[in-house]
Amino acid sequence: MEIRIERTTAPKPKPDQKALGFGKYKSDHMFMMNYTPDMGWHDMRIVPYGPIPLEPDAVALHYAQETFEGLKAYRTPSGDIQLFRPDMNAKRMLNSNRRLCMPEIPEDMFVEACKTIVAVDADWVPSEPGTSLYIRPFMFTSEGQIALHNCSEFIFCIITSPVGAYFAEGINPVKILVEDEYVRAVRGGTGFAKCGGNYATAMIGQEKAERLGYSQVLWLDGVEQKYVEEAGGMNFMYFLNGEAWTAPTEGTVLPGVTRDSIIHILKDWGIPVHEERMTIDDLMKAGHDGSLGEAFACGTAAVISPVGALNYRGDEITINDFKIGETTQKLYDYLTDIQWGRIADPYGWITTLK
Ligand code: COI
């Protein structure tokens, strides 16, 4: 595929790599392409990062026809740059787009676009420990139309951002509030899709959690509000009597790339993994009787974030004395060693930039 490259004439100063935070800074360029039914995907280009003009009646702004992805580029000890499982993001975006009646982007086109924008902004891939270049592909309906019908004009764009830890706590445990009023996803809905609408409706739970002093919300199922599903912006996993548990990805839970990678690793280590539903009552009981050994949230942005406390309806349990668990630490070390290229990747998950 041919990508036109228009380089900025005004490169931005690079931020302090020791104080990146998450998502505050944007690199110099962005990838864009357009879709129309007669031309398919066309006009692939890399242009200086900047505003995208939109008609005020663009459907994305009114009816939230929008999907996105999140992956990272890592600087290896030898100075090379590598991506982690970009094919998984491409596949997930296909599924999200199908659910939102948006055109598909072929996997190789998606991966090529990610690699090219990172190569153009290679000097934005940080090298400080724990930092990376977050890649945010997103797609939306650019067509203007107030009536509610499916549209035919779309824009796909990729921006990137040099990032450090997602949580201010870093790898230290976070506190999570279980949401019992609002729900995130229902059967037949968009829970499995990575679309802006899911995060917009989840904002109220996240806002409430933060207002009450918690870093994340934990969502329960949308029908009975009984079963543990996922955290605000990431999946949720825990260990009961040494065995790992996480909610199944059967429609209402996001099929996380980090979640999938961790399941692979745990199984290889001989640790049983239950992708099964568990009620919040049973989880809280396990917290009280000591069988809940460790818990963590996981996602591309957060990597692996230990959970030190869980509050459900005022009942708060402390997990592993509010310390990172042994298996959580081992998983974090192993996964991040692969991602940052400190050890060989036995799974074929790494895509190196040529
Ligand atoms: C990611 O982990 O890549 C996400 O998209 C989650 C978001 C809340 C930052």
Output the tens digit of pLDDT for each of the chain's 354 residues. 899 999 999 999 999 999 999 999 999 999 999 999 999 999 999 999 999 999 999 999 999 999 999 999 999 999 999 999 999 999 999 999 999 999 999 999 999 999 999 999 999 999 999 999 999 999 999 999 999 988 999 999 999 999 999 988 888 999 999 999 999 999 999 999 999 999 999 999 999 999 999 999 999 999 999 999 999 989 999 999 999 999 999 999 999 999 999 999 999 999 999 999 999 999 999 999 999 999 999 999 999 999 999 999 999 999 999 999 999 999 999 999 999 999 999 999 999 996
Whether 258 is in the pocket of ligand 1, judged by its Cβ within 6 Å, is: no
- The three-state secondary structure class of 301 is coil
Give the angle 265-269-348 at the CA atoms, nearest 5°.
35
User: What pLDDT score does 103 carry?
Assistant: 97
Query: Which atom in ligand 1 lies closest to the alpha carbon of residue 68?
Result: 5
pTM reported for the whole predicted model = 0.97
User: What pLDDT score does 281 carry?
Assistant: 98
Residues 250, 251, 255, 259, CA torsion sign: negative
Residues 6+ apart with CB under 8 A from 54: 60, 61, 142
Q: How far is CA 123 from CA 12, 15, 27, 164, 252, in A?
A: 11, 12, 9, 16, 38
Q: Which residues make beta-bridge pairs with 292?
A: 240
Whether 137 is in the pocket of ligand 1, judged by its Cβ within 6 Å, is: no
Task: Ligand 1 pocket test: pick from 234, 257, 305, 335 the residue with the most ligand atoms within 8 Å of its Cβ.
Answer: 234
User: What pLDDT score does 168 carry?
Assistant: 84
pLDDT digits (tens, 9 = 90+) for 107-165: 999 999 999 999 999 999 999 999 999 999 999 999 999 999 889 999 999 999 999 99
Residues 6+ apart with CB under 8 A from 91: 107
Closest Cα partner for 102 from 136, 143, 66, 64?
66
Crossing angle, helix 86-99 and helix 107-120, to 10 degrees? 120
User: Could you count the other beta carbons within 10 Å of the beta carbon of residue 284?
Assistant: 20
User: What pLDDT score does 169 carry?
Assistant: 82
Contact assessment for residue 256 and residue 280, using Cβ atoms and an 8 Å cutoff: no
Closest Cα partner for 336 from 80, 130, 51?
130
User: What pLDDT score does 38 carry?
Assistant: 97
Q: Whose C-alpha lies nearest to ligand 1, atom 8?
A: 233
